[in-house]
Amino acid sequence: MFFTAYYVLLLCLIFTVLVNAADLYKTLELSKHASEQDIRKAYKRLSRKYHPDKNQEPGAEAKFVEIAHAYEVLSDSTKRQIYDRHGEEGLKAHEGGQQYANPHDIFANFFGGGFASQQQVRRGPTSTMDFEITLADMYKGASIDFMVKKNILCDHCRGSGAASDSDIHTCSGCGGSGVKVGRQQVFPGMFAQTQMTCNDCSGRGRVIVKECPHCKGQKVIDHMAQYTLEVDPGTPEGHEVVFDGEGDESPDWEAGDIILRIKSKKEKGSWRRKESSLYWRETIGIEEALLGFQRNLTHLDGHIVTLDRTGVTQPGFVQMIAGEGMPVFEQYTHGDLFIEYNVVLPVELGPDMRRKLAEAFYGSRERQKDEL
């Protein structure tokens, strides 16, 4: 009973969408020159965003239905041509009252929930690259713009490789099937049927009479794409950030991903990191090592950490300062900061320093003798 009522409501939503149909290209946030790849990418992004299981906001389900309807029309080359020429009224006349597809079925088929998923365009290669940032950016978090050179579908031919649609013909060698069927004799009087990829069209079923002048028939062009990497405070070494569907484009596949593997730059200085702990090497003189000192250390984000030592500091001594390490990734806590002290002895002692040390050591001995 519940499911019956739900589907009645869903049909009402579909009917409402069709009656109040908006521009299907605007629904998918595309221009009328969008390629098949653009349409798939837009549907993938928007259908996830407005899916009723994920988005409970008012109007989200109606938007989900609109997006499914727009994709159903624009992903079908015949329906798209009719829509481009005659709009929704032309589509209704063409469909002849045929029932519209369930938006949830469209979603399931697209993402692999049914038989139609077997017909999906194959996934293109994923590009993984190391991306170096400063330790300070890992500590504070940052927004970093970067450029990637990649292939995109030619915006003139929309990935067909032809100068115009009229320059794409059905292959006469295979009749558009992409394969040639032949017979091969296996025994006298006995033949076996063979199939091979059509060499006239390379298995595509179509031949291009005149190549696109912009891409020279390659279907794709080089493009420098700009992206923004959002680095969260405490981002781990080797953390991977995925830019979904932003890999090389091709009419033969759905674009793969770009994956950035975050690495810290090798920088001159004393800061080192191990998970959520930070390490700093502080150099002090013999006077400070013996008498104590107070110093200010400028942290990675610019705030000041006070280094305070009142006793004798041995060479190699490590001081821990709680809560001054790296932020713990996706949490509101910090690790610890470890200060290793390096004591530098002077190459030679000046008269003033020699006198002070003599008073400190030998003077104390003389006082001890006097007391005895």
Task: Please state, rounded to an integer, the average pLDDT across all residues of the chain.
Answer: 79
The larger pLDDT score, comparing residue 122 to residue 57, is at 57
Could you list the residue range(s) of the whole structural domain that residue 187 is in?
127-264
Q: What is the pLDDT of residue 296?
A: 92
For 73-103, write each residue's pLDDT tens digit. Answer: 888 888 888 888 888 777 777 666 555 567 6
Q: What confidence score (pLDDT) does residue 111 get?
A: 59
Return the minimum-mean-pLDDT range out of 153-157, 241-245, 267-271: 267-271
Of residues 129 and 7, more confidence is placed in 129
Residue bearing the bigger pLDDT, 307 or 34 = 307
Instruction: Please indicate whether residue 61 or residue 113 has the higher confidence score (pLDDT).
Output: 61
Going by C-beta distance under 8 Å and a sequence separation of 6 or more, which residues neighbour residue 170? Answer: 176, 205, 206, 207
Cα(246)–Cα(235) distance, rounded to whole angstroms? 22
**In terms of domains, do 58 and 155 share one?**
no
Distance between CA atoms of residues 85 and 70, nearest Å: 15
Residue 121, pLDDT above cutoff 70: no
Q: How far apart are CA 170 and CA 179, in angstroms?
A: 13
What is the rounded distance in angstroms from the CA atom of residue 146 to the CA atom of residue 225?
8
CB atoms within 10 A of CB 25: 20
Whole-number Å distance between alpha carbons of 366 and 188: 123
Q: In 253-307, which ranges are continuous DSSP H helix?
A: 286-291
111 touches 103 (CB < 8 A): no
Judgement on whether residues 322 and 214 belong to the same structural domain of the protein:
no
Is residue 106 located within the same domain as residue 138?
no
Q: Which residues pair with 318 in a beta bridge?
A: 340
Q: Does the pLDDT at position 354 exceed 60? A: yes
The pLDDT > 90 percentage for the chain reads 14
- Separation between Cα atoms, residue 160 and residue 304, nearest integer Å: 60
Residue 154 and residue 107 share a domain: no
Q: How far apart are CA 228 and CA 361, in angstroms?
A: 62
- Tell me which residue of 130, 144, 138, 141 sits closest to 278, measured CA to CA: 138
**What mean pLDDT comes out for the span 334-344?**
91
pLDDT digit string, tens, across residues 256-266: 889 999 998 88
CATH number at residue 215: 2.60.260.20
The CATH number of the domain holding residue 56 is 1.10.287.110
Mean pLDDT of 90-119: 60
Contacts of 348 (CB under 8 A, 6+ apart): none
Residue 372 in any domain: the answer is no
For the cut 70, the answer to whether the pLDDT of residue 37 exceeds it is: yes
Q: Confidence class of residue 338 from pLDDT cuts 50, 70 and 90?
A: very high
Residue 10: predicted pLDDT: 46
CB of 116 closer than 8 Å to CB of 109: yes
> If pLDDT is split at 50, 70 and 90, which confidence band does 171 have?
confident
Structurally, how many domains does the chain consist of?
A: 3
CA atoms of 50 and 62, how far apart (whole Å):
9
Which of 233, 264, 295 is the C-terminal boundary of a domain? Answer: 264
187 compared with 49, residue with greater pLDDT: 49
**Mean pLDDT on 127-138:** 91
Q: Which of 124-133, 198-207, 227-236 has the lowest mean pLDDT?
A: 198-207
Residue 5 has pLDDT above 70, yes or no: no
In this structure, the answer to whether residues 88 and 41 fall within a common structural domain is yes
